[in-house]
């Protein structure tokens, strides 16, 4: 099973590439990602977090089916926004309130290479936007005020030094 890379790894700042091949492998690949979600007790994971710069992310939130998004595009967002406390498996131990649109419409492909459109709100919309950001090289802390981001980075570094 793959390992999840964490803050400090430059890969997390990179743009992911479009997936062009839809064979059996992509299904096995996303199954592995769901396995990691269970293992790390997460609700969303993007490929870049396991070191692969491809436009894939998976979402698994309570009371919903597991969902795979390949080559996603967010095609609509609401003006209405929500504040919600986010975390990230690549920034363990750090949480912060992030403001994002409360509704999104997303277009993506499934593992069989078929396109679909999904309208999401609540937690699902939240996780979709967080994971979509990963494909652009953006982390949730990048969406915070620079002062707040710096405070969190200092806290993260302190915590990590203690662990060593």
28 is catalytic: no
Residue 41: half-sphere exposure toward Cβ, Cα within 13 Å:
2
Q: Is the distance from CB of 30 to CB of 46 less than 8 angstroms?
A: no
Chain residues that interact with Ni ion, rule: CB under 5 A: 88
Bridge partners (DSSP) listed for residue 57:
46, 69
- Closer to Ni ion by Cβ: residue 59 or 108: 59
> How many whole angstroms separate alpha carbon 164 and alpha carbon 159?
9
Sorted by sequence, the CB contacts under 8 Å of residue 95 that are 6+ apart come out as: 85, 86, 87
> How many whole angstroms separate alpha carbon 145 and alpha carbon 164?
29
Shortest reach from residue 114's CB to Ni ion, in Å: 26
> Which residue's beta carbon is nearest to the bound Ni ion?
88
Shortest reach from residue 88's CB to Ni ion, in Å: 3
- 21, 76, 85, 131: which one is catalytic? 131
Shortest reach from residue 86's CB to Ni ion, in Å: 8
Residues annotated as part of the active site: 131
């Amino acid at each position: 099973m793959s390992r999840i890379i964490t803050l400090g790894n430059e890969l997390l700042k990179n743009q992911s590439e479009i997936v062009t091949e839809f064979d059996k492998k992509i299904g096995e690949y996303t199954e592995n990602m769901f396995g990691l979600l269970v293992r790390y007790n997460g609700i969303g994971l993007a490929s870049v977090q396991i070191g692969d710069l491809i436009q894939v992310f998976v979402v698994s939130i309570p009371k919903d089916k597991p969902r795979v998004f390949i080559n996603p595009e967010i095609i609509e967002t609401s003006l209405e926004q929500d504040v919600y406390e986010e975390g990230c498996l690549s920034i363990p131990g750090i949480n912060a309130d992030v403001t994002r649109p409360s509704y999104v419409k997303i277009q993506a492909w499934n593992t069989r290479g078929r396109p679909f459109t999904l309208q999401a709100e609540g937690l699902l919309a939240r996780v979709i936007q967080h994971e979509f950001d990963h494909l652009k090289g953006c982390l949730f802390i990048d969406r915070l005020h620079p002062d707040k981001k710096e405070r969190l980075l200092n806290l993260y570094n302190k915590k990590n030094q203690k662990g060593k």
